[in-house]
């Protein structure tokens, strides 16, 4: 049985945090933190308001927890000052405060945008070099590296989940490849918090999608058995695709519009 009893969820007011509060509450005693108080906070939910860049506030949020599910930070592309504050400084602070407070495990919400500049035709595992498609994606690659530092230097157990797209159903053709059913994300979080053999692992946060871009053998090795199947929603997703404005860069790369945004490289993208 796992010795993880009390779990802190950062970013608890956001979409992922709200979904995981519901799916994890029966397994752990949850403490929640975010910049703002969740609007649907239940009477039995403990909430500590904190900015990840504020060390003293973060200390209060982390004190006494066994594990952390780190969904906090800026969740889309942003300017460098925004990404630096929330996703670079905030991420480092989270790991460092966790270490100093004896936290055993951290599950870090990485992103597919850490490897967004791989072509869609190329299937990749977790050992390929990162190819971030944005400042946001770069910050997630940084978070994976911070997790490795604290795992190998300090003995923390760290799981990084490169999340595709969490929603009730995939919304278009690209998301038929990267869709992650919320319950499958919860399963990956459970593995990160409870599996006895975790040291530092990177998993792809993706369901059982036949169009998938990624080899998720690492997650399967730890017992991951996704239940969602994106092809169940194929017709609706492809119909929605016809209404979208697309461009060659977005269509070529796995990161989609994150790749085409601000893109000004010369040459044929198919060469890479």
**pLDDT above 70 as % of the chain:** 99
φ, ψ of residue 33 in degrees (nearest 5): -145, 150
pLDDT confidence bin for 39, thresholds 50/70/90 = confident
Token couple for 228: 């969602």
Q: What's the CA gap between 71 and 163, in Å, rounded?
A: 11
Q: Which of 206, 196, 212 is nearest to 105 (CA)?
A: 196
| CA angle 239–240–245, rounded 5-degree value | 120
pLDDT digits (tens, 9 = 90+) for 238-257: 999 999 988 999 999 999 99
pLDDT value of position 231: 98
Write down the pTM of the prediction.
Answer: 0.96
Residue 1 reports pLDDT greater than 60: no
Distance between CA atoms of residues 129 and 127, nearest Å: 6
Catalytic residue positions, numbered? 136
- pLDDT per residue as tens digits for the range 134-149: 999 999 999 999 999 9
pLDDT in tens, 214-241: 999 999 999 999 999 999 999 999 999 9
Model confidence at 266, pLDDT cuts 50, 70, 90, reads: confident
Mean pLDDT of the chain: 96
Q: What are the chain's domains?
A: 6-271 (3.40.50.720)
């Amino acid at each position: 049985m796992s010795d993880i009893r009390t779990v802190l969820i950062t970013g608890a007011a956001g979409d992922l945090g709200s979904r995981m509060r519901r799916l994890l509450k029966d397994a752990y005693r949850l403490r929640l933190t975010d910049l703002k108080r969740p609007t649907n906070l239940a009477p039995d939910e403990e909430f500590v308001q904190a900015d990840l860049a504020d060390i003293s506030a973060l200390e209060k949020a982390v004190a006494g927890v066994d594990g952390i599910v780190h969904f906090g930070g800026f969740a889309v592309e942003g300017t460098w000052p925004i990404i630096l504050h929330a996703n670079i400084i905030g991420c480092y602070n989270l790991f460092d405060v966790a270490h100093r407070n004896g936290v055993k495990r951290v599950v870090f919400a990485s992103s597919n945008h850490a490897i967004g500049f791989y072509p869609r035709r190329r299937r990749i595992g977790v050992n390929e070099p990162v190819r971030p498609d944005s400042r946001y994606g770069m910050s997630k690659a940084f978070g994976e590296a911070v997790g490795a530092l604290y795992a190998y230097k300090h003995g923390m157990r760290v799981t990084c989940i490169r999340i595709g797209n969490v929603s009730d159903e995939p919304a278009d053709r690209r998301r038929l490849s990267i869709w992650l059913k919320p319950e499958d994300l919860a399963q990956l979080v459970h593995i990160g918090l409870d599996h006895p053999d975790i040291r530092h692992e990177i998993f792809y946060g993706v369901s059982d999608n036949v169009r998938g871009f990624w080899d998720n053998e690492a997650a399967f090795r730890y017992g991951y058995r996704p239940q969602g199947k994106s092809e169940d929603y194929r017709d609706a997703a492809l119909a929605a695709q016809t209404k979208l404005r697309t461009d060659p860069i977005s269509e070529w790369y796995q990161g989609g519009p994150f790749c085409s945004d601000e893109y000004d490289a010369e040459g044929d993208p198919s060469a890479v």
